[in-house]
Structure 1
């Protein structure tokens, strides 16, 4: 993900609480707009589980907001080129992937104090905690690999070459991690117990996959392909393409609401596409919501 862009949920909070059917998706509406008065570009945002904290990657720091009021709750400083934020509440630790520093910052979730920094591959972008393996994983955009970090020892325990630019990743929490490879138009399946690439699945006709989400119940992957405005839906058990749906241009983020069975794509053109999951193999575009120009990433607050 490129750092210099706006973020959907930083500037826009959307309500979907009343959605139960595809035809009701047009009731999603704008709740609030938060303005952040500091310098720098934008990338991922993240909601800390079981808290009121919204974390916003913002140039050389992470801004922490009250997710209801937008009030500032502090910053995580010295995270130059920050992309993503991840949390392990059981360890009281948060993590940021710092693209220009080639490292991960570890911080205290209660005090925001920086605890340490962990060297990674080049330009760590997306960052993810895999509950199954109990590892932090970074997608390193320039070294074309993944850094596997033990959060207890705070050491890189493995590096997995992926042969292309890894963009986003999700897990099935059963030992498999799925990674969008942006410049190869594919998803790679990683065996996280062996730290190896197990399979390559083509996303064509989808091009330049960025955002990725997963439905653990139906075992379906949702890959946003920004270059040709497609959401590609993949069977996560065999790699077959289940469906392809039109979305807005410039998608960089995909989110999934398991309760409402809705998939969201944030599109840089200034829209959010809402897709309703009717069944594991049937999907419909339910709504297109106006957001802001260049709002390309998003987070779902479960």
Structure 2
């Protein structure tokens, strides 16, 4: 039987522990609840868009926009330049030397290398059919372009600006990422899976099912804890342990997502959703609790996380009415209203 002094000790310890846990939960929740749209940069122009990427060191944001890439100064929100002459841009990858960038030109079936100081194209590199997601792999100094229609990956040597390998995949690839240790990961949309590739041997080394995930698109990575975050249809984010290939959580996100991001400093994962929300997920515990759904703008499906400022950039536009279906075009799409193309800047209060 415990003495009264021991009972008082254990009661006080439990009270302090409970208060500490409650305070930590409150602080975590309060931190996440601070996210909001703090600015809107109107870019204008015409046409649709796809991926964007931040260059924190140069304070630049590269945004694919129809047949061009907008280059935005993130300190002012003003254009710093543009890359032009493409057929349809999808993604941008940046090398680790601050020298070259790479644009996937889907309709051009090519990847274009450009000088990041002059914004001039220096090489046009034939790729597979409809290159889309693209990423730079730092161990092998290669760029990986994932081709949607030919369902393969074109591996480009950045020293020669030439394709050195073409790797067949099991289905239509979507967004890729790298772990910085020579491994490349990509979502396979048509197989509901993740493929792991070895950048040195240029081979597929594993393919893992994304249980509970339909049509995975965007992907982000936590290299400290070996986690991949794939955003999926059905309002789900699949969290995968990339040491085992197992899905360990599927937190609920907004509808119609297309991109993901990760803040290593605060252990938060983000999903940008076409329904007009940005979902914030706490990855610091196995619960993977959704902390906030930030109101953004409908159509803001793609995003870039800026590790230098902690801000998130999303792109959206206004749309006109959807045309009536015809025999020639049974699934018509509403057109972007010219001049409405905008970058949303999400930050903390």
Q: When the two structures are superposed, what TM-score results if normalisation uses the length of structure 2?
A: 0.78
Q: Is the 8 A contact 1:89 1:109 kept in 2?
A: no
Q: Which moved more, 1:169-178 or 1:76-85?
A: 169-178
- Aligned counterparts of 2:163 and 2:221: Cα–Cα separation in 1: 26
2:127·2:154 contact (CA, 8 Å) conserved in 1?
yes
1:240 aligns to 2:246 (yes or no): yes
Match of 1:262 in 2: 268
Q: CA deviation at 1:183?
A: 0.7
Match for residue 271 of structure 1? 277
Aligned structure 1 segments of 4 or more residues deviating by more than 3 angstroms? none
What CA distance in whole angstroms lies between the structure 1 residues aligned with 2:81 and 2:98? 20
- Find out whether 1:170 has 2:177 as its counterpart: yes
CA distance in 2, matches of 1:120, 1:46: 21
Q: CA deviation at 1:89?
A: 4.9
Which of 147, 155, 159 is residue 154 of structure 2 equivalent to? 147
Output the aligned Cα RMSD: 1.4
Q: Give the Cα separation in 2 of the matches to 1:111 and 1:174.
A: 30
1:228 maps onto 2:234 in alignment: yes
Query: Are 1:98 and 1:105, in contact at CA under 8 Å, matched by a contact in 2?
Result: yes
**Secondary structure of the corresponding residue to residue 214 of structure 2:** coil
Query: What count of residue pairs does the alignment treat as equivalent?
Result: 282
- From 218, 234, 242, the counterpart of 1:211: 218
Question: Which deviates the most, 29-38 or 214-223?
Answer: 29-38
Alignment of 1:4-83 (within 5 A): 21-83=28-90
1:298 paired with 2:303, answer: yes
Would the aligned equivalents of 1:22 and 1:284 in 2 still touch at CA under 8 Å? no
The answer to whether residue 293 in structure 2 is matched with residue 288 in structure 1 is yes
Question: Which structure has the greater CA radius of gyration?
Answer: 2
Structure 1 residue 109 corresponds to structure 2 residue 116: yes
Residue 136 (structure 1) aligns with: 143
Q: Which residue of 2 aligns with 1:10?
A: none
Structure whose residues are more often strand by fraction: 1
What do the CA deviations read for 1:206-265 (whole angstroms, capped 9, x no partner)?
A: 10000111111110111101x211011111001111111100110100000000111000
Q: Distance in 2 between matches of 1:181 and 1:89?
A: 26
Q: Displacement of 1:91 after TM fit?
A: 5.9
* CA deviation profile, 1:116-135 (whole Å, cap 9, x unmatched): 11010010101100112211
Q: Distance in 2 between matches of 1:87 and 1:27?
A: 30
Structure 2 unaligned spans of 5+: 1-25, 308-349
Asked if the contact 1:20–1:260 (Cα under 8 Å) also holds between the matched residues in 2, the reply is no
Q: Residue 31 of structure 2 aligns to a residue in which SS?
A: helix
How far, CA to CA, are the matches of 1:183 and 1:291 in structure 2?
28
CA contact (8 A) 1:79 1:96 kept: no
Q: What is the TM-score of this pair, normalised by structure 1?
A: 0.90
